[in-house]
A and B are shown apart, each in its own frame.
Chain A
């Protein structure tokens, strides 16, 4: 009996050792201590998991596969399965940092995703860990400001002007990121910080094509500490562009649908004309033949 117990202990010890070794394999990707302790300012809920899943499926599945299925792409070094201990034993901050900054063949998602979207992905990865309890930062005495924004465009200096308020007071030192919303992703216009008047300026390239009215669809995010705000707006910022259809007008490959009426009419007149002449000749020949026979 005692023997078996010892045996179990040894196995347990080996398992622990393996787990630690596994973590060690990851630890050759050092994360700065501050980042490592970083915590999500949001409570991971179903909405975050759902959003994270969409981002994950779009951006991560091609290498990491579906979490829990161990179907990641064989690469060197292996990308690994996010549901595995190799990932789950890391802190939220470490996961966040690694997704954000990338390394080697792991792309850097800093420009593609804003911080809250990165936390969505962490929330999704955590949803595969039943034992996970989200560590929460100490929020005692911390007041989360509610930011509101006003966007305008200054066409003298071609800059997007972002004003940030909280309780009608302009807010300094708020980080601002502005994006142009494209069909498949968002294009980073620029990042900036508000000055003491609560105003941030972001350069806009006037050569960017807008729509028929010169509008661009912009998305601006403001964040400082736990306070964040997001705003979408269509703004006239650039020269209007006329969007031409790729099949407009006539081309060398145009099909009959695009042929002008005069062409169709003259085509058919010519074709029927030729048939008519042929028919006329044939009938004429027949009549001559008939007349010949009658005479004979």
Chain B
């Protein structure tokens, strides 16, 4: 960390000396200012935005400027690596409630520019041939606290953040697929072909928290909707479920919120009272996704 800071400082000094950067920054902000000033006419098309002090305001689309920070790749890369301090995100999946509505999968696939056969999240049918029963099990990346995928990546393209989310930087990924082999939960998929609507996304700046635009020849997987979580919103899948299957929240707060009912409950109580389990605990991967057994329930 220290070292990184130092690097950063020396780089900044270097840039200052260069002076060119300064000049271009001035030019850049002048452009931005201009962008603001000539946007007095309104288009009548309003959008909601969250201000820095967490207030919702409605602004006219014409007042938004495209030169925003959000478009800046290095800003996005830095933010994506860093994560959100003080948080540790967890998901709880209540198998008793899953009725295979597959709304979560649809929401996920449309958010992450995935073709129908590619999954960050898949609802699997789990069969018990002895008792002749089956149940539905949504399965995502488990965001392991001990992620084998991270240790095998030769180029540090996949990494774990301070808030527990495991992400992929497809600007770095060389497509070796070591991580696909290392993941015991088969959570990762590979872009064998050009991703869905790739022409439409050609100009979009890459945001690793959303992992869009997808890139052919790189690996992709569930990101716990890091982009939504940053805005204080529940992940795409969690809020799309009509059956109240998903809870999502912060382990440090011991609170998780149900995506359907919006009810917030204590994580520890939810896990203890329902005999929660994790997938393949014997591997020592320490998943951040908990499952509540598929028993008949009143809820």
Q: Could you tell me which A residues sit within 8 Å of B by CB distance?
A: 50, 54, 58-59, 62-63, 73, 75, 105, 107-109, 111-113, 180, 182-188, 205, 208-209, 211, 241, 243, 245-248, 251-257
Contacts and interface: CB of A to CB of B under 8 A. Distances in A.
B41 to A, nearest CB: 22
A183 B87 contact: yes
Interface string B234-276: 1000011111100011101111110111111110000000000
Contacts of B266: 187, 205, 208
Interface string B159-199: 11111100000000000000000000000000000000000
B127 interface: no
A183 B241 contact: no
Nearest to A59: B262
A287 B86 CA distance: 63
B20 interface: no
A139 B38 CA distance: 48
Nearest to A245: B162
Contacts of B145: 246
A85 B265 CA distance: 36
Interface of B: 4, 48, 56, 58, 85-88, 101, 103, 145-148, 150-151, 156, 159-164, 232-234, 239-244, 248-250, 252-257, 259-266
Interface of B is mostly: loop
A108 B250 CA distance: 23
Contacts, number: 117
Contacts of A252: 146, 151
A186 B232 CA distance: 12
Given A187-B266, A246-B88, A247-B162, A182 B56 contact: no
A243 B86 contact: yes
A180 B253 CA distance: 10
Given A187-B255, A251-B146, 20 more contacts: A50-B58, A62-B239, A62-B260, A73-B101, A182-B250, A183-B250, A183-B253, A183-B257, A184-B250, A184-B255, A185-B255, A185-B262, A186-B264, A209-B252, A243-B85, A243-B252, A245-B85, A246-B160, A247-B160, A254-B151
A253 B252 contact: no
